[in-house]
Amino acid sequence: MLNLKDNTLLRSQLFIDGAWVDADNGAVMPVLNPATKEKIIDIPNAGAAETRRAIEAADVAFQSWKNIVAKERSAILKRWFALMMEHQEDLAQLMTAEQGKPLAESRGEVGYGASFVEWFAEEGRRVYGDTIESNNPTQRIVTLKQPVGVVAAITPWNFPIAMITRKVAPALAAGCTIVLKPATETPLCALALADLAERAGVPKGVFSVVAGNKARDIGGEMTGSSIVRKLTFTGSTEIGKVLMKQCADTVKKTSMELGGNAPFIVFDDADLDEAVIGAMASKYRNAGQTCVCANRILVQESVFDAFTEKLVAAVNALKVGNGADEGVTIGPLINDDAFTKVSAIVDQATSNGAKVLVGGKGTDAEGENFYHPTVLVDVDDTMDVYNEEIFGPIAPIFKFKTEEEAIRIGNDTPFGLSAYFYSRDIGRIWRVSEGLDYGIVGVNEGIISTEVAPFGGVKESGIGREGSKYGIDDYLEVKYLNMGGI
């Protein structure tokens, strides 16, 4: 049972145009706890009509929100940040209930998610244009940065708060209004965030949440609308491509945070203990369900056995269970489909010769969606563990001989989100950092997410950057004024 200090944060309605409402046809959808498969609560199952109303409300609200001075928007965002931190424990409880991750990780994500709100409250006050020297002495040229307009956001279930604030905070700071469709699996954190935004003083229509399982209807309305000027999406590359195509008809700006296939490279001069700590953090956080999780662990021949032995020991110390229980470090996978997919990837590898050093199967004792943290060796590039984003607690370890080979293997994927490597050689650190075709490179570091740095991918991992001083640019248009006759 969910026992929140402030039970009003457990919302069971949509938030549209500043009002808490049901679906037009009264339809509801259950939100399940992935650890127990029990229903937490029913929420309205929204569709195209509710989405359209939220978009129209955002259009009206934009006319006034864009004209509020940045300092005032910043003050509202700061209040929202403070409220998130004040309710950190309740938000973490909600997150673990609907998403499954261990409570310690949920608390961490609430802080991380809130950090984007604080950051963009600050960045929103530092949006500057330019003055440009004209070729003509009778002209003066300046640029203005203006909000792009109404934004639609679609977010995934693996980070039910941070993936939202990383979009909503810069949008609001820039003067945009926004309609959010959270993941079907994790609407409760999104609705709680809307509740806190309302308490912080975000005006009606500026931030609406349309939840439910009719992703295609909601997404179709968002992408088809001529009011919406920008779509920001985090999720799979497959759906990202569909949405980009849908946005083409109205030539929307898009930001896409898509899938990854991160190499985690351990060179022979690495500090192996540090590399194991980094690999554990990168691979097993959120039960392996993050887009920046180490996907392929590449270890140089001479340290392969030593690294593998240490990694297996660390994996054996993990504790699988309900994320709400003390000491648990690996929660359930999000749902049956995720479990089936992860099982299939491992089975495909083992039936082609991969060897399981630990794990390799589900752990029935804890419940149906739990997969044992796994280490595989004797893997190769024909296997799904090499080619696909695993999205589960599976670490396949590949062997390489030279630095050139490591870079080649690292880049041997259509994805380009995050990569990691461990080395103490300064020349190698520069060469490999420059050689890896990725938006993010962790050097002797397994955790790379922070609000101060630009997060985003190249190749089929996406378009745009979130967080950092660059994150607000995605929500701003540059207008140039040419003043003649001077």
Residues involved in catalysis: 257
In the range 140-179, which residues lie near ligand ADP by CB under 6 A? 154-156
Chosen residue from 170, 219, 263, 446 binding ligand ADP by CB under 6 A: 219
Q: Which is nearer to ligand ADP, 147 or 160 (CB)?
A: 160
Q: Answer yes or no whether residue 335 interacts with ligand ADP by CB under 6 A.
A: no
**For the purposes of burial, counting CB atoms within 10 Å of the CB of 226, is it exposed (0-12), middle (13-18) or buried (19 or more)?**
exposed
* Least distance from ligand ADP to the Cβ atom of residue 57, Å: 20
Binding footprint of ligand ADP, residue count (CB under 6 A): 13
- Beta bridge pairs of residue 264: 297, 420
* Least distance from ligand ADP to the Cβ atom of residue 313, Å: 31
- Asked if 486 and 277 count as a contact pair (C-beta separation under 8 A), the reply is no
Chosen residue from 94, 239, 247, 276 binding ligand ADP by CB under 6 A: 239
Exposed e or buried b per residue across 299-331, where buried means at least 16 C-beta atoms within 10 angstroms of its C-beta: bbeebbeebbebbbebbeebebbbbbeeebbbb
Q: Answer yes or no whether residue 287 interacts with ligand ADP by CB under 6 A.
A: no
Which tokens sit at 5? Answer: 């200090």
- Beta bridge pairs of residue 151: 178, 230
The interface region with ligand ADP, picked from 55-63, 212-220, 268-276, 477-485 by CB under 6 A, is: 212-220
The secondary structure of residue 58, as a DSSP letter, is H
Q: Which is nearer to ligand ADP, 74 or 449 (CB)?
A: 449
Q: Answer yes or no whether residue 32 interacts with ligand ADP by CB under 6 A.
A: no
Q: Are strands 228-234 and 253-257 parallel, antiparallel or unpaired?
A: parallel
The HSE-up count of residue 405 (CA atoms within 13 Å, CB side) is: 11
* Least distance from ligand ADP to the Cβ atom of residue 284, Å: 18
- Asked if 274 and 444 count as a contact pair (C-beta separation under 8 A), the reply is yes
Torsion angles phi and psi, residue 62, rounded to 5:
-60, -35
Q: Cα separation of 103 and 286, whole Å?
A: 11
Q: Answer yes or no whether residue 184 interacts with ligand ADP by CB under 6 A.
A: yes
State the DSSP H helix or E strand holding residue 399, giving kind and residue range, or none if neither: strand 394-400
Q: Answer yes or no whether residue 241 interacts with ligand ADP by CB under 6 A.
A: no
Q: Answer yes or no whether residue 100 interacts with ligand ADP by CB under 6 A.
A: no
CA 463, 96, 338 angle in degrees (round to 5)?
A: 60
* Least distance from ligand ADP to the Cβ atom of residue 151, Å: 15
* Least distance from ligand ADP to the Cβ atom of residue 330, Å: 19
| Residue number of the CB atom closest to ligand ADP | 219
Binding site for ligand ADP (CB under 6 A): 154-156, 181, 183-184, 215-216, 219, 235-236, 239, 242
